[in-house]
Amino acid sequence: MTESTDDTFAGFRIWAGFAMMCLGMFMAILDIQIVATSLPTIQAALHIGIDEMSWVQTAYLVAEIIAIPMTGLLTRAFSMRWLFVLAVAVFTVASAGCAASQSFPMLIGFRVLQGFAGGTLIPAVFSAVFLLFPARGQATATTIAGVVAVFAPTVGPIVGGWLTETYSWHWLFLINIVPGLLATVGAVYLLPRDRMALRHLRRLDIAALVTMAAALAALEIGLKEAPTRGWTSVPVASLLLIAALGSAVFVRKTLKSPEPVVALRIVRDRNFAIGCCLSFVLGIGLFGSVYLMPFFLGLVRGHGALEIGKITLVTGVAQLAAAPLAVALERRLDARLLSAFGFALFALGIGLSARQTTETDFAEMLVPQAIRGVAIMFCILPPTRMALGRLSPDLVADGSGLFNLMRNIGGAVGLALIDTVIFSRSPVHAASIVSALQAGNVDTARMLGIPVNLFLMQVGRPVSPETVAALRPMVERAALADAINDAWMLVALITVAALLLLPFARQAKSVLSNSRNERATLSHSEDG
């Protein structure tokens, strides 16, 4: 076998191994969305209380957000190959445990395990982009990872709705088993074999780790509870204070630690810091749009989970169509220019959704969704290169963990802000609609679907209780649509604000651009 053939075969194995990593990440991200779609079904099956139902998701998200920044440390200790294999294997076993759960505590326990394992898969994949591939392959690998990361929540509603309607809630978790096993076995044989270095775990600062976990858990739970309990309520304010104090203590201890949980010194790199800020804003937009679309279609339009999935699939299709163009441009143009284009286009797509009415449906949502789908690829590829492309190989895993953590925190903050806007603005819009009706505003009556002739006959007359009861659902539905529009506009404005960061970034050039990373060409005959 010639040297050229050997190189081709080694390259094929690396790409195939990376595909296994992307498969594992896809299942981890998909799991979040399909479970969210079918929470009422799980609630009924396991007799879960209304006030406890949200913990099925929260347990996963809290564990995930704690695991993400630990990815760098775990990569150094177990190696990229064995960390992924362990994570995807645990995720698969935990998925089977969730499907077999007979009680609420049992389900929550397996969701925590599932979330922790799934949380390491996302940053592991993005760090693999820069550890496995030379500079010329990084754009393609980032595109594949980006499409997988964003396409999973896009198809989540349709997959979750179809599984629940066709089979049972157990299949929301059983669907992970075969791909999980495939990814586990494939990664063992295909990924480069680095040696483990467990000494990193022995020298770990346990106090710093516990402090970080407590801070992130308090932040996630505090943001979840803030819209309903109030941002200044004692429980929420206490949780956010714990998060702030815990973060301060963690940073202080980490900067002095010989074996830090996360190498925070990389934040001093200007491009990495700006890339993390862009990731935070992207998280607000991504999580926000994925949340607002089903929220509107379900509560305002009255669609079921399967129909919602069909409508929201447009974003994923647009992503796939834009991916080749994004790769081609990312190789030729400055990351700052492409990031500016992506975030400006993303803001436009979000802003166009702020004009929805109670009658808005697939046709009116088509263009905004398509714009957002195209923009997402330009919001992922260039900022990822900007943040991670300048880091040395030994810092890439830590950088990927922080970069992805910022996106998840952005998503949590975004959802909290969105719910706060919806809950606070809906009563205001309802009062405004009622005032307009009382003033005889024909346009408001027409918007609600009230026959104009009947409305004009009633103007100036006392309103009967029957009429009030008949109008209340119409008013609430219209008020909810207006409040959702307010949330869309808030997210659009935050996305536009991200553009102010880009003039401060330096041109992104990968430190790996002059040579193939040694990890990508390590012999597969070495001992794992």
Report angle CA 520, 196, 133 to the nearest 5 degrees.
15
Which pLDDT score, from 0 to 100, does residue 338 have?
A: 94
3-class SS of residue 298: helix
- Which pair of structure tokens corresponds to residue 420? 């706060």
- Which pair of structure tokens corresponds to residue 364? 């009116």
**Would 1-203 and 267-515 be classified into the same CATH topology?**
yes
Which pLDDT score, from 0 to 100, does residue 514 have?
A: 37
Is pLDDT above 90 for 183?
yes
**Strand (E) or helix (H) holding 278:** helix 270-299
Q: Which CATH superfamily is domain 1-203 in?
A: MFS general substrate transporter like domains (1.20.1250.20)
Name the more confident of 255 and 186: 186
Is pLDDT above 50 for 516?
no
According to the per-residue pLDDT averaged within each range, which of 295-309, 398-412, 510-524 is highest? 398-412
Average pLDDT, stretch 128-139? 84
CB 39 within 8 A of CB 48: no
3-state SS string over 362-411? Answer: HHHHHHHHHHHHHHHHHHHHHHHHHHHCCCCHHHHHHHHHHHHHHHHHHH
Q: In 3D, which of 508, 511, 515, 513 has the Cα closest to residue 272? A: 508
pLDDT in tens, 311-362: 888 988 898 888 888 888 888 888 899 999 999 999 999 999 999 998 999 9
- The pTM is what? 0.86
pLDDT in tens, 246-286: 999 999 988 887 778 888 888 889 999 999 999 999 999 99
Is pLDDT above 60 for 527?
no
CB 509 within 8 A of CB 389: yes
Q: What is the rounded average pLDDT for all residues in the chain? A: 85
Which pLDDT score, from 0 to 100, does residue 515 have?
A: 37
**In terms of CATH architecture, what is 267-515?**
Up-down Bundle (1.20)
pLDDT in tens, 359-395: 999 999 999 999 999 999 899 989 998 898 888 888 8
The residues, any chain, with a CB within 8 Å of residue 497's CB and separated by 6 or more, are 281
Query: Domain map of the chain by residue range?
Result: 1-203, 205-258, 267-515
Report angle CA 410, 415, 421 to the nearest 5 degrees.
125
Average pLDDT, stretch 215-244? 94
Burial of 382 per CB tally in 10 Å (0-12, 13-18, 19+): buried
3-state SS string over 143-210? Answer: HHHHHHHHHHHHHHHHHHHHHHHHCCCCHHHHCCHHHHHHHHHHHHHHCCCCCCCCHHHHCCCHHHHH
Is pLDDT above 80 for 461?
no
pLDDT-based confidence at residue 507 (cuts at 50, 70, 90): confident
Looking at 63-77, 239-253, 298-312, which range is the least confident one? Answer: 298-312
